[in-house]
Amino acid sequence: MEAAEAGLVLGGLNALGYALSGGDEDKERKVLPDERAGWIFGFLAPKLIRMPWNDAHGSPVFLDVRRFIPVGDIFDLGQTHSAIPLLPVAIPGGPLAVMAELIANRSQFTGRDITKEDTDTGLEATLKVFDHVFKAMAPNIVFLPGTYAFKTVMDAGTGKTDPFGRERSIPMAVASSVGVKLAAYPRDVALQSIRLEHNAKTREIHQNIRALGRELNRNGISREEFDSKVAEQVEKLKKIAAETQKKVEE
């Protein structure tokens, strides 16, 4: 099946999923992680197709179909967490990539820190490093303890969510381990992630403004430069606030 035909079929299945589940597409999709909220190639079909049922807690269930469409995930820049947009095929792998992640203390897969420098004890940091290396190097099979697939099945049905806000039942976890990426996306978890991201971004911008104030006080920049750069930061704050409000409003 060609990409265009697959897109039409998947788009129809998504419409059917919403018709049968009674879900509100706008409300559900606007709180999805940005990397999963969009469309394949920007227009072909949603990256996540709504299933015609909810999980046991009433959360919407989605199927990630990017790999079902020919080259559907090859041009998906949202899957990477590099400083500059890179195609997934351009992201290095193997032992050298794992070593680079450890040096940078950042996972390519989740985009998050491997260890918490300020709060992890030496033992906690060591265990996290070993866990990261093992998961990166071991085959991701459901019967091998310590792998992502094994942990997903063990966590299934307990209320735990992964770094992307997904929650799975045992059948969904088993299906995911063989490439059928089914998962529920609880709204409360999504909203919490949105608010945490909002707080982190605003905190960073306020730090930038304080740094500009320090430069001004030490005559590192002129008043005109200070006013201009602070105005830019304020505009960022307004944009972030508007984007967050749009996502969390009912």
- Residues 6 or more apart in contact with residue 101 via CB below 8 angstroms: 107, 108, 114, 132, 136
The residue with greater pLDDT, 147 or 80, is 147
232 part of a folded domain: yes
Listing DSSP states for 85-100 in one string gives ---GGGS--HHHHHHH
Supply 61's token pair: 């269930």
* CB burial of residue 239 (10 Å; 0-12, 13-18, 19+): exposed
30 part of a folded domain: yes
Q: Report DSSP state, residue 165.
A: S
- Indicate the number of domains in the chain: 3
Picking from 186, 204, 229, the residue at the C-terminal end of a domain is 186
225 part of a folded domain: yes
Rounded CA-CA distance 131/127 in Å is: 6
Confidence (pLDDT) at 58: 92
Domain that holds residue 128: 90-186
Picking from 139, 164, 186, the residue at the C-terminal end of a domain is 186
- Burial annotation 47-76 (CB, 10 A radius, 16+ → b, else e): bbbbbeeebeeebbbbbbbbebbeebbeeb
98-109, pLDDT tens digit by residue? 888 889 898 887
Rounded CA-CA distance 136/159 in Å is: 25
CB–CB of 133/127 below 8 Å? no
CB–CB of 26/13 below 8 Å? no
Amino acid at 162: D
How many CB atoms are located within 10 Å of the residue 212 CB? 20
Picking from 22, 37, 68, the residue at the C-terminal end of a domain is 68
**Co-location of 172 and 193 in the same domain:** no
13-49, pLDDT tens digit by residue? 999 999 999 999 999 999 998 888 888 876 778 999 9
How distant, in Å, are the alpha carbons of 125, 127, 134 from that of 130? 9, 5, 6
**Co-location of 176 and 228 in the same domain:** no
Q: Considering the chain, what is the average pLDDT of its residues? A: 87
218 part of a folded domain: yes
**Co-location of 119 and 172 in the same domain:** yes
Least confident among 1-15, 80-94, 148-162, 233-247: 80-94
Q: Give mean pLDDT, residues 80-88.
A: 59
CB–CB of 239/202 below 8 Å? no
122 part of a folded domain: yes
166-191, pLDDT tens digit by residue? 899 989 988 988 889 999 999 999 99
Is the pLDDT at 76 greater than 80? The verdict is no
Is the pLDDT at 72 greater than 60? The verdict is no
219-244, pLDDT tens digit by residue? 999 999 999 999 999 999 999 999 99
**Co-location of 161 and 208 in the same domain:** no
38 part of a folded domain: yes
Sign of CA dihedral 174, 175, 176, 178: positive
